[in-house]
Amino acid sequence: MENYRKAGVVEQPCPCPFPDLPADTPEVRVRDGSKIRNLMKFALSRMEGKAIVFTGMGPSVAKAITCVEILKRRIRGLHQFTRLLYRTVQETWEPLEPAAGLDSLTVSRNVPGIWVLLSRELLDCSQPGYQAPGSFDALYLPSSSSE
């Protein structure tokens, strides 16, 4: 690929995997360069409603999961639906020297993505990807004093 340069990237739109979600449900699009504190500030200000959706594609999937877990600790009793899917990305590569006889290339990649719906209301527990509100009390170890 040292004889090519990237000419363009076209990302195919990814439809929301939660079909019966109200249109006014806030969506937090997590990007690789997003700061977690800014994402959390936005999410907490929008969580006054009943639900919120976090999305992350490619390298931002881990950051989206981190944000979801932080929000679940700050606001107790949230129900969760998780959907994993792929978005198709087409990259166009042009040759650096057209006279060398090289053709343009189009590369299609499937980039993994995650959509997480957090809701204060009970969701359909029979659907795959559902996670009930949990207790975080077991996660905190009692402090022991060592002398």
Tell me whether residue 130 is in a domain: no
Give the pair of three-digit tokens for residue 23: 């249109």
Confidence check: pLDDT of 79 > 60: yes
The pTM of this model reads 0.79
Number of domains in the chain: 1
pLDDT of 12-43, one tens digit each? 888 888 888 888 889 999 998 989 999 999 99
Tell me whether residue 137 is in a domain: no
Q: What is the mean pLDDT of the chain?
A: 86
* CATH number of the domain where residue 71 is located: 3.30.110.20
Structure-model confidence comparison of residues 144 and 16, the more confident one: 16
Contact 9, 109 (CB under 8 A): no
Tell me whether residue 140 is in a domain: no
Which of 72, 84, 85, 83 has its CA nearest to residue 132?
72
Tell me whether residue 20 is in a domain: no
Give the pair of three-digit tokens for residue 100: 């060398």
DSSP SS3 for 128: coil
- Domain containing 58: what range? 4-12+25-96+103-119
Tell me whether residue 126 is in a domain: no
Tell me whether residue 57 is in a domain: yes
Tell me whether residue 89 is in a domain: yes
pLDDT of 88-101, one tens digit each? 999 999 988 878 88
